[in-house]
Every structure is written in C-alpha cells, then in structure tokens.
Amino acid sequence: MSKTSALRVVGDDASTTAIPNDLQAFWMPFTANRSFKARPRMVARAKGLYYYTPEGKQVIDATAGLWCSSAGHSREPIVEAIQKQAAELDFAPTFQFGHPKAFELASRIAALAPGDLDHVFFCNSGSEAADTALKMAIAYWHARGKASKTRLIGRERGYHGVGFGGITVGGIVANRRVYGSMLAGADHLPHTYNREKQAFSKGEPEWGAHLADELERIVALHDASTIAAVMVEPMAGSTGVLPPPQGYLKRLRELCDKHDILLIFDEVITGFGRLGAPFASERYGVIPDLMTFAKGVTNAAAPMGGVVARKHVHDAFMTGPEHVVELFHGYTYSAHPLACAAGLATLDLYRDEGLFERSKALEPVWADAIFSKLKGKPGVLDIRQVGLTAAVDFEGWKDAPGKRAFVAMDKAFHDEGMMVRTSGDCLVVTPPFIVTEDDIAQIADKLSNVIDATVNPS
C-alpha cells in the first residue's frame, strides 16, 4: 500500500499555498519536533525583510534566515542568476574538470579576504567547511614533514557545525554528549564570557584578552610538536553572541606563531558583512592561516561553503608530481554551478548596494535601540551586541531551563509576527542588512513585548 499525504490549500485568491496535512515524515533538524508539529511555525514565501505564513501573515525576519539571508529574501538579481544558470549548465563535476564560474567566484572571494588568503576550496555548508579546514591543517603538517602535529584545539561554547571534526573542536555540550568519544586528541580553550566582568558591554568587552594565554597551558600539557591547529569563531554566534574581548584574537595569533600552530577562523557566521567588514579578520586586524565561510556567500539562495587558505598553506601541497591529486578531499557538489551563480550575484548585490558599509553604519543605531529598550527590564541579565547581532539573556523559569526562551520564540512568531532564535534562556537577533532604523525600533519593541509576556510561567 502506497503512502500518501493529503494537501490543503490556504490563503486568499491572490496568494494560495498548498501545505501537507501530515507533518510526520519530515524529521526536522535542531527542532523540538513534537512541539512544532502540534503548533507549527510555518512559512511559505519570503520577500525582502519578511517571511509570510501559508495564511499570508507577515513575519519580520529578525534572524536573516539563519544568519545567512543578509541582503533580504528573494532578491531578483540572485533569482535571475540561478534561473539562467540552471538553463545553461545545471551541473559539472569539479573532480578533474571545471567550469568558469567556479574560478570567477573563487577569485572574487579571495579578493575580499585580507592578506594572502588567496586560495578557495569550495564545499556546501559550514559544517563541511569546518571539517575541510581541520583536515587541511593536519594534512599541511604531514606535507611539511611534521606528521606528529595532529592535535586540534577548539574552545568551550564554540560551534563549528555538526560533522565529527566540528563537534570535536566545538564546545556546546548538547551537540557532543551522545556521540561518543569523537576524534582523539582534541583539547579546548576556555570560553571568553564572564557576566560579572562583561555584562552589558556594547561591542567587544574590555575584560578577557588574557584568556588567550590558556593556549600556553595547553601547549605545556601536550607539546607544540603534537598540535596542528587552533580553531575559533571570531565571534561565537550559535552559543548566544559572545564578542571577542579586546586584544584576544591578536594574542591568539601571536601564540600560534610562537608555537608553530595554524590558526583557523570559523567565519561561517561572521563572514560577508555581519560585523561590518567583509570578514571579521579584517575588523580585528588578524589574519588566520585558514578561514571558513558559508551562509552569506550566496545569501542562502543555494547551499555553499568553503575554506580560504593562505599562500603558505596552499603551496605546501603543490610539491609532488603535477599529475597527482594534491589533496584527497572534496564533495560531489563542490562549486556547484547554481551555487556559484548565486554567489557571484550576491557579491554584486553586496557591492552595488553598499551592504557591508550599511551594516557598519547601522551598528550604533542597532546597539542603542536594543540597549535603550531592553536594559533594565525585569529579568534581563545581560545584553551582548557586536555588528548587526545581539543576544539578550534573561532569567529562566525555575526547574525548566530554556523553556522561557522557547515560549518567547513561539510567542514572537505567533503573537508579534517576528522570527527570532534561542540559545538556552537567551534570544538572539541578527537582522538582514536591508533593515531600516524604523525596522530596528520595531524589532526592539517586539522583543520587549515577548520578554514581558514571559516574566512568569503560564
């Protein structure tokens, strides 16, 4: 007997949407599935700053999708580029073959990246980018004749996707605890957040640069001859927006140079303008040896990720016979033609509309709105902000950690018409760069409303 899923049509004559009556087949990622399917938060289309439910209700996207639709949704130049590419060249392998847009996009990304971060390796997601960078780091030392350098150092509260390499160096316990021992030999720096010392800091907090010196302790424990790389997010995003302390990243760079360790920046979230510069490495004046990207590279219109390598890393592999594969790694859809077309159109849009510059200019407006509206409200324990990001920690409900934020997120969608993210008892907001000052004020008002509505469990 075949399985069928009946559809129902909702909406008005101008906009109708068919949605399934049966929601069980889709096992949703990073979602409380039973709760969602009991009271769905469903979107059917998007345009500009807004999502629209199947019934046509407008929802402010205060998350830029998932940190990724920075230019707003369904932008015509990107849509048209994908449509044209699908008709012209739908797929081409990049194992031993190539297509022009892959090389064009790689050149454009390399030109945006600082210093001699000049060589781009494509994959399809941030998770793949993280694992690719870690493999490159280990393979680099092997190519250099230092095969004992295999240990990977991450950071507590770090997020580097969901591959085994990423969760090994990552430091979010829920992403690690049920998956066994992971990769052998990893260690972790302490996270950089201290509420007592840093609460309600705008931008980068003054306290905490010394935490980078914990790398000295790790080196003393394991010896530098065993350590391949340190991987950190310039700003830890998924854990609830932890800006780096002033001077922290520069100190980490100094220590990696001192001990001959590669430094990897995971810029999946911070890349492409989120912190007001093409990459956070430029904002902080620190050039890593490897840098991951994803999300904003295509404005989320097609899956794409990648790693940008400095010249000395790339060139270490280019020493053997020219007919032999230098790095035995890659993905079927690396540099997929549709993703490359989306990426090129996205970079054009960022440039032509000055969206990185807009992000930078809006940062103080964003910070002032969030702090002035929410600081001092009952139960608000901290606000963190850097670039066009913000996180609001508030007092949770007794014996139900995380539930208040979950309820706030649900109320924001259904009652306030706004999409936000949660991280524990924390709301995270990261609007697209096309947001206006009036939009920012509206987002702050709606955040205030949902925080007020969840002061006591009901």
- CATH for 381: 3.90.1150.10
Which of 295, 328, 352 represents a domain boundary (last residue)? Answer: 352
Residue 458 lies in a domain: no
Residues 149 and 201 in one domain: yes
- Look at residue 123 and give its three-state secondary structure: strand
Strands across the sheet with 187-189, in order?
117-123, 305-310, 290-293, 262-266, 227-232, 151-155, 187-189
User: CA distances (Å), 400 to each of 254, 314, 395, 452, 457, in order?
Assistant: 43, 49, 11, 18, 10
Residues 59 and 189 in one domain: no
Domain that holds residue 297: 78-352
Residues 63 and 121 in one domain: no
Residue 295 lies in a domain: yes
Residues 104 and 240 in one domain: yes
Q: Give the pLDDT confidence score for residue 10 in this predicted structure.
A: 64
Q: Tell me: pLDDT of 106 over 50.
A: yes
Residue 286 lies in a domain: yes
Task: Please state, for a pLDDT cut of 90, what percent of the chain lies above it.
Answer: 94
User: CA distances (Å), 200 to each of 16, 193, 384, 385, in order?
Assistant: 45, 12, 6, 9
Residue 191 lies in a domain: yes
Q: Give the pLDDT confidence score for residue 456 in this predicted structure.
A: 75
Q: Tell me: pLDDT of 4 over 60.
A: no
Residue 248 lies in a domain: yes
Residues 110 and 238 in one domain: yes
Residue 1 lies in a domain: no
* 397-415 core/surface letters (b: 16 or more CB in 10 A; e: else): beeeebebbbbbbbbbbee
Residue 16 lies in a domain: yes
Residue with the bigger pLDDT between 326 and 16: it is: 326
**How many structural domains comprise the chain?**
2
Residues 196 and 58 in one domain: no
Name the residue type at position 154: G
Residues 88 and 224 in one domain: yes
Q: Tell me: pLDDT of 5 over 60.
A: no
Residues 61 and 122 in one domain: no
Q: Tell me: pLDDT of 384 over 50.
A: yes
Residue 93 lies in a domain: yes
Residues 334 and 219 in one domain: yes
pTM for this structure? Answer: 0.95
Of the candidates 299, 66, 285, 289, the residue with the CA atom closest to the CA atom of residue 161: 66
- Average pLDDT of span 310-332: 97
69 contact partners, CB below 8 Å, separation of at least 6: 46, 61, 299, 300, 432
Q: Give the pLDDT confidence score for residue 1 in this predicted structure.
A: 41
Which of 291, 320, 352 represents a domain boundary (last residue)? Answer: 352
Residues 232 and 188 in one domain: yes
Residues 381 and 334 in one domain: no
Residues 234 and 326 in one domain: yes
